[in-house]
Structure 1
């Protein structure tokens, strides 16, 4: 058995809520095994009333979810270069010792993610995206913004998310990483429901301000 989060749109910050679902895991590296696990995850989620769901990864079987994988989803960078979300993310990392590898913008998504210069490193100080500095905190803010920017440039794909209650990514393990493409898809829907979509994709400042304002507006639990 295994557990994975299902990401559901939410109209208040962080515009996503998570429902952890336990399901039968099919071990193995083959894509067919991953698809069996996805089917089990979605079936177990369905028992909780969480349907329909869209798997967002290159391991899924739905063409829409495959297109929306960070490996495949592209957008035009400030210099006009077409980048995948994954390559943009890896190439923008700046580590505490000053290491920064923007050459990864030109690498394939897989090569960028597996590049030994960035693979498994957690000492990220901040991000530098074509001269625009992004803070390392909130932890997933930069990745989220990249993904939302890419979605904004593909309104046809964004519109197709409307029919789904939530989103999954079978490869995402919250014990090992924080940023997740399925979480971003749910966030886009939460922001749209809140009437904030056009505002947050306008600029870095607008995105961070919305996150901060929504947090400040939430009542304290203490």
Structure 2
């Protein structure tokens, strides 16, 4: 058996923009995508029973849904200045470490190459992010990854399809992943998707990007507003 988190949008009267539920399910061992998809099937079956929902989307390259694969950070397109990138590439190329960065040449790599670039592990502790001539602190709320991923969703043309889902999962993201993020940048595409759906019920589509930027960077943002993402 294994445990994974499912992320759900919240009601308008909630003090947060997402909620997470731990789901226990039967894990199917093996590195092949086909094995991963079997685990996803088991995860979703257990989640539907526990959460009393019918529509769950796995967002990853292991997803059984073409939409879930397309919305993976490895595939989700993002316009960055004059570049058309992916969320993964934009995220990795914006990291600033104690010993170097941002490594903007990562824009010339594939998503997988970007994630595995050795400099990201050999440059010391992560300090902040530099993106489009702005500095994003690690303590920003929402965090930098939420902003990037949701910006990608806004440009995806898939909003009507995304809002059909009641919960989101990412098989690669476990409780151990959450613990390892202690003091680091938190990133989970399933969580970001749940936040996005919650935002859509609270404001106009064209207000979301500016709301996220203000919440993360503007120090005058209210404590109540920032707690929405915690």
* TM-score category of the 2 structures, normalised to the smaller one: 0.7 to 0.9
Equivalent residue number for residue 63 of structure 1? 66
**Structure 1 range deviating more: 27-36 or 134-143:** 134-143
Equivalent residue number for residue 111 of structure 1? 113
| 1:215 counterpart = 2:216 | no
TM-aligned CA distance change 1:26 to 1:132, over 3 Å: same
Aligned residue pair count: 216
Equivalent residue number for residue 100 of structure 1? 102
Q: Deviations over 1:60-114 (max 9, x none)?
A: 1100001000000011112x21010000000000012333211112211000001
**Structure 1 range deviating more: 176-185 or 131-140:** 131-140
Pick aligned residue for 2:206 from 198, 201, 222 = 198
Tell me by how many angstroms 1:132 deviates.
Answer: 1.3
Tell me by how many angstroms 1:121 deviates.
Answer: 7.1
TM-score (norm. length: structure 1) = 0.88
Instruction: Give yes or no for contact 1:126–1:134 (8 Å, CA) kept in 2.
Output: yes
TM-aligned CA distance change 1:113 to 1:135, over 3 Å: same
TM-score (norm. length: structure 2) = 0.85
TM-aligned CA distance change 1:74 to 1:120, over 3 Å: farther
Task: Describe the SS at the equivalent of 1:172.
Answer: coil
**Structure 1 range deviating more: 7-16 or 179-188:** 7-16
Alpha-carbon distance in structure 2 between the residues aligned to 1:197 and 1:185: 14
Equivalent residue number for residue 45 of structure 2? 43
**Structure 1 range deviating more: 121-130 or 167-176:** 121-130
Instruction: Give yes or no for contact 1:200–1:206 (8 Å, CA) kept in 2.
Output: no
Instruction: Give ranges in structure 2 of 5+ residues lacking alignment.
Output: none
Instruction: Give yes or no for contact 2:98–2:124 (8 Å, CA) kept in 1.
Output: no
Alpha-carbon distance in structure 1 between the residues aligned to 2:108 and 2:154: 22
